[in-house]
Amino acid sequence: MEALKKNPSWKGRRGPVVLVIMDGVGYGKYTEGDAVADSKMYHLAAIRAGSPNTRLKAHGTAVGLPSDDDMGNSEVGHNAMGCGRVFSQGAALVSKSIETGAMFEGRAWKEIISNVKDGAGGRAPTLHFIGLFSDGNVHSHLDHLKAMIARAKKEGVGRVRLHILFDGRDVGETSALEYVDPFEAFLKEQRGAQGEGPAFDAKIASGGGRMWITMDRYGADWSMVERGWQTHVRGTARQFASAREAVEAYRKEIPGIIDQDLKEFVIAEAGKPIGTIEDGDSVVYFNFRGDRSLEITAAFEEERFDHFDRGRRPKVCYAGMMEYDGDLHVPRRYLVSPPSIDRTMGEYLAAAGVRTLAISETQKYGHVTYFFNGNRSGKFDDRLEDYVEIKSDVVPFEQRPWMKCAEITDQVIEAVGSGKYDFIRLNYPNGDMVGHTGVYQAVVCSMESMDLQLGRLAKAVNAAGAVMVITADHGNSDDMFEHDKKTGAVSLKEDGSPKAKTSHSLNPVPCVIYDPEYQGEYPNEPKEGCLNEGLGISSIAATCIQLLGYIPPDEYDQSALKIESRG
Active site residues: 74
Distance CA 235, CA 248 (A): 20
Question: Is there a contact between 526 and 53 (Cβ–Cβ < 8 Å)?
Answer: yes
Q: Cite the beta strand spans of 167-249 per DSSP E.
A: 201-209, 239-240
Distance CA 332, CA 215 (A): 19
The 10 Å CB-count burial string (b at 16+, else e) for 25-56 is bbbbbbeebbbbebbebebbeebbeebbbbbb
| Residue 376 contacts residue 344 (beta carbons within 8 Å) | yes
- Cα 30 to Cα 33: distance, rounded to the nearest angstrom: 7
CA dihedral 501, 505, 507, 513 (to 10 degrees): 110
Task: Calculate ∠ Cα 360-508-396, nearest 5°.
Answer: 40
**CA distance to 17, 242, 248, 410, 514, per residue, from 461 (Å):** 9, 57, 53, 13, 9
Q: Are 79 and 341 in contact (CB under 8 A)?
A: yes
User: What's the alpha-carbon Rg for the chain, to the nearest Å?
Assistant: 24
Q: How far apart are CA 144 and CA 146, in angstroms?
A: 5
Contact 335, 317 (CB under 8 A): no
Q: Are 8 and 566 in contact (CB under 8 A)?
A: yes
| Backbone phi, psi, residue 558, to 5° | -55, 140
CB neighbours of 530 closer than 8 A, spacing ≥ 6?
A: 52, 522, 523, 524, 562
Measured between alpha carbons, how far is 405 from 516 in angstroms, rounded to an integer? 23
Q: Using alpha carbons, list the distances in angstroms from residue 495 to 131, 450, 491.
A: 33, 32, 11
